[in-house]
Amino acid sequence: MISAFAAVLAAALLVLLLLCCGGLTELLVHAERGDGLMPLADRPNEGPLHFELIRTVVRQVPLLQRSVPALTGLLVLGCVCTLLRSLLHDRVRRSIRLHVSAAVSKLREHIHRHALRCNTGDLTGRQKKPAARLFRETADRLEDSATHWGFDHLTSLIDLAVLVLLMLLINWRVGAECLVPVIVCWHISRLEINRHAASTTLLSEQVERGIRRLTDDLDNAQMVAGYGMEESEHQQFSEALNQYRSRYHQLRRQQTHGRWMLMLIRLISVALPGYLIARHILAGDSLGLSAAVMLSLTVGLITSSLRTYRDVAVSESAAVVAADEIQQYLLRVPPVSQVVGAKFLEPMSRILVFDQVRVETETNPDLLSGLDLRIEAGQRISLLSLNPMETEALISLIPRFLDPVSGQVLIDGQDLRRATLESLRAEVLIVHGDAPVFNGTVLENITSRRSDISRQDAIEAGKLVHAESFIRRLPANYETMLGEHGTPLEPGQKFRLHLARAAARKPAVMIIREPEAPLDTETKTLL
């Protein structure tokens, strides 16, 4: 609503600016009289410059009854109108961007939420790239395109409506005569642009195929030489090269022809209204020079607004493409979901079993094949593999970040696919050795900002994993800020902090991924 009101005010300022131009024309025409805009008040109605309101203003304001002060006042008013119109357009653009940004932020939240659901079992890292690209580049492109579309669509339509009304008020007969060629030329230019774009696309594809074929022929040198086909191959290459050159020059001619055609249409859209206006002046009609100048400027502004409105389709198309990319991603089905009738999983008390488990990826169809493994409760084991993806797949099966293609993973005889995800992941935690710390205090990093974990629980967890020693040396102990602008930690200290976070949850199964960064001597000794 605010955007529309500001756009209407900007259009009204455009009308006022055109009136100033008409007034300046009157001053120049009657410069020898030196009585400013008084000729406007003395003549009968002859367009908007001679409305009763304007005549009254001229009679009541002494400044407008002398040429130099009137000239100064009109120039200042014109500059003020131009500045205010720019400010209002900036206000419209900001308002539209705020609304678009809010909608795009919601989409980013959906992308983030969907990525957390879909990327848990991403062993190769390929699924992270599309999500990151959509979150940054595609969302930014959608925001920019939608903002441009909204701004151009709103301002150009309102400007067009106001300018057409002004043209008809100046002189409805001449205005209608001028509008017809402008609208016809605009429609023809749209058709020509669409035809030119389709033709250029077709020729460009043909040129691209031609150059690709020529390039492919260069890769057959060994076979051609081996079979003695140099002469025939060279002849075919020359024919293909000539065909490529012909299509290339045809493409350039098509582009040049399109530019000249558009230039001719635009010239006609300006020249024909100008001819009609000049003819009425020469015929001695009631159309004065000031009204003619205003009509000419209005025709030019209408042509510019129509061109802007035509380009709205480009922004709309870019926004639709970006929105469709995001929608296609959000429609992807997560690889792991909770089955209907899933049961609460009790903490593991006996055994974890991998029964004939098979896991495959796009690049490795036999990543895990027929895996059998039994881990007793309370048992500690180490997983070593020459292929890191194998161990990554194995540990991802336990909290159901990934489901096996075949086989079962069972805790105390219960298939994990029949357990609720919340109860399962409350009992199975993975400690990421190289993960960054959160932006927050040490206490918030250990408790994960969960209200069910008390400060005492966090302190006990810190003591359990030997993190208490370095935490007490920090500037504010457990209230020390960490993260982007906080106190930096060494890799070993981060690792112990991650261990404390997991220990505070008291999971039944803890999976520790050792950090790749070298640990300090103190951490090695304590662990």
| Domains of the chain, CATH where assigned | 2-330 (1.20.1560.10), 351-526 (3.40.50.300)
Residue position matching structure tokens 């409506």: 161
Q: Is the per-residue pLDDT at 227 higher than 70?
A: no
Query: Residue 234 — pLDDT band, cuts 50, 70, 90?
Result: low
Q: Tally Cβ neighbours within 10 Å of residue 131.
A: 18
Indicate the angle between helix axes 491-505 and 455-464, nearest 10 degrees. 120
Q: Is the per-residue pLDDT at 224 higher than 60?
A: no
CA distance 113 to 134: 13
Q: Tally Cβ neighbours within 10 Å of residue 448.
A: 14
Average pLDDT, rounded, for the chain: 81
Residue 471, H or E segment: helix 468-471
Least Cα distance to 88 among 38, 43, 162, 154 occurs for 154
Lowest mean pLDDT among 48-62, 96-110, 113-127, 441-455: 48-62
Residues 6+ apart with CB under 8 A from 64: 36, 37, 38, 57, 58, 70, 73
**Each residue of 466-486: pLDDT tens digit?**
888 888 888 888 888 988 778
- CA–chain centroid gap for 233, Å, is 49
Determine what percent of the chain is predicted with pLDDT higher than 70.
81
At 86 the pLDDT is 93
Contact between 377 and 320 under an 8 Å Cβ cutoff? The reply is no
Query: Residue 49 — pLDDT band, cuts 50, 70, 90?
Result: very low
**Each residue of 413-464: pLDDT tens digit?**
898 889 898 888 888 888 887 788 888 888 898 898 888 889 899 889 888 8
**Each residue of 332-349: pLDDT tens digit?**
888 888 888 888 888 888
Q: Is the per-residue pLDDT at 208 higher than 80?
A: no
| pTM, full prediction | 0.72
Distances (CA, A) of 148 to 92, 100, 296, 317: 11, 10, 28, 11
Contact between 262 and 189 under an 8 Å Cβ cutoff? The reply is yes
Residue position matching structure tokens 């979150």: 135
